Structure 1
């Protein structure tokens, strides 16, 4: 077994365990090691901390969702703005079902300076703006869309108090996403 195979098995084991638990804090490195059939030292070698591993695992699931969405034939026929809104709504639905895990991942990502997640929005923004915006402009727009969603997701109750939008209500959540995207796209 090479290093990359072991790393992938560890991530897969972490994802599988995260699907089974409701509390991220109860996941242990030992559980992941047993599931991946590796020693705990190998997990520490690849990921340094349990939080890094779990952040990567949840981020990996969401990244695969975003990538499959962008490349899926089901969504290829959608107008680009509708595609972006639909992608964000589907990712948010996943996030709502796994709220504790996603809060952990968002917080972990923000604290560690994650700048990879917004890149998943760039291809769709490129479809929207064509040659009107360069790569840097598209990356900034991706941040302008993603960061408010992430911040609101960390504390939905505080966001509800601030905005009057209940993110646990799908209709209100969809209005939030539509408004956010429309405001950015119409700039």
Structure 2
């Protein structure tokens, strides 16, 4: 792919991101809207991305990765321990999913259907800070999945999560307690094994 094609592709992704920021309902975004705003033909979107959902999945993936990277690089969290950073990041991700429930449902179902496993990988650097060399890469990947699985479940069906756990993730206090318990359970178990 030449640089002009790459620039056009990035323009379509950026346009999709802008549209995602403007609406909570992914279903309201059309290929025609994306094409008109990016000033490209509909066929070009289909050529590069095969479908609107694929384009939106890429745009959302970029957005989520940016949130996690911005959080990791932010100086306002520099004084927090790695465990507190992880808890704070999860609370912010849950708050985002609470604000954009339909978007989160689309993200999770799209990731699962397409086999996208990139999101958990963004947690690995923070988990390495927490566990150091006590865990290998495979163990860290499993931990990342254990941490993100509840977010995925609530993204798909928060009522089912509530029926199972009794935790209403729409309630900030309950959500915060859940995150505290989840991370404490994972880290305390490790400390007991090594202590």
Give TM class, smaller chain: over 0.9
> Under a length normalisation based on structure 1, what TM-score does the superposition of the two structures give?
0.95
Q: Per-residue CA shift, 1:31-54, capped at 9, x if unaligned?
A: 001111111122112211111111
In 2, are the aligned partners of 1:10 and 1:43 still within 8 Å (CA)? Answer: yes
In 2, are the aligned partners of 1:10 and 1:33 still within 8 Å (CA)? Answer: yes
Q: 1:145 aligns with which of 125, 135, 147?
A: 147
- Distance in 2 separating the partners of 1:62 and 1:96: 14
Q: 5+ unaligned residues in a row in structure 2: which ranges?
A: 190-195
Counterpart for residue 181 of structure 2? 179
Q: How many residues align?
A: 187
In 2, are the aligned partners of 1:58 and 1:102 still within 8 Å (CA)? Answer: no
- Distance in 1 separating the partners of 2:68 and 2:24: 23
Larger radius of gyration: 2
- Distance in 1 separating the partners of 2:73 and 2:48: 30
In 2, are the aligned partners of 1:85 and 1:181 still within 8 Å (CA)? Answer: yes
Counterpart for residue 193 of structure 2? none
SS at match of 2:123: helix
The two structures, once aligned, show a CA RMSD in angstroms of: 1.3
- Distance in 1 separating the partners of 2:62 and 2:45: 16
In 2, are the aligned partners of 1:12 and 1:57 still within 8 Å (CA)? Answer: yes
> Under a length normalisation based on structure 2, what TM-score does the superposition of the two structures give?
0.91
Counterpart for residue 78 of structure 1? 80
Counterpart for residue 18 of structure 1? 20
Q: How does 1:120-159 map to 2 (within 5 A)?
A: 120-159=122-161
Q: Per-residue CA shift, 1:147-177, capped at 9, x if unaligned?
A: 1221122111121122111111111111111
